[in-house]
Amino acid sequence: MAAPILLLVEDEVLIQEMLDTELTEAGFEVAVVSNGTQALAELNADVTRFRAIITDIRLGAGPRGWDVAHRARELVLTMPIVYISGDSAHEWASKGVPNSVMVSKPFASAQVITAVSTLLNHAPPL
């Protein structure tokens, strides 16, 4: 059985690459997708592969990060969720899932690593 990995959902290539590199260097395995449709397909195919989700909110046409997080939580009630957004943080209280973290852009990758690590430390084992 493969080790659990993080699902990174981000449509901006530079942010994808930076977070993929930094999260890998921090000891995580990362699966990267660039839109909500791909993210939902990954979750529906085998959500148990993923230990946490890091998602941008605005992902172009199709499902948004809010949709990705809600689907993940329908499948695994305790799935750790980290939202990253440049302009949607004000919607987090009404559209985000409980016990999630919002990291506003621009951010240092250490902020995302800390957020996901904190959520993983408090999540029940899968």
The CATH number for 29's domain is 3.40.50.2300
Q: What is the pLDDT of residue 124?
A: 79
Q: What is the pLDDT of residue 123?
A: 83
pLDDT in tens, 52-98: 999 999 998 999 999 999 999 999 999 999 999 988 889 999 999 99
Residue 72 phi, psi dihedral angles, 5° rounding: -60, -40
Which positions ≥6 away from 89 have C-beta within 8 Å? 83, 102, 104
pTM confidence score: 0.94
Number of domains present in the structure of the chain: 1
Give the separation between CA 29 and CA 119, rounded to whole angstroms: 16
Domain that holds residue 38: 5-122
Given a contact cutoff of 8 angstroms between Cβ atoms, the answer to whether 66 and 57 are in contact is yes
Given a contact cutoff of 8 angstroms between Cβ atoms, the answer to whether 2 and 124 are in contact is no
Q: Supply the Cα-derived Rg of the chain in whole angstroms.
A: 13
pLDDT in tens, 9-31: 999 999 999 999 999 999 999 99
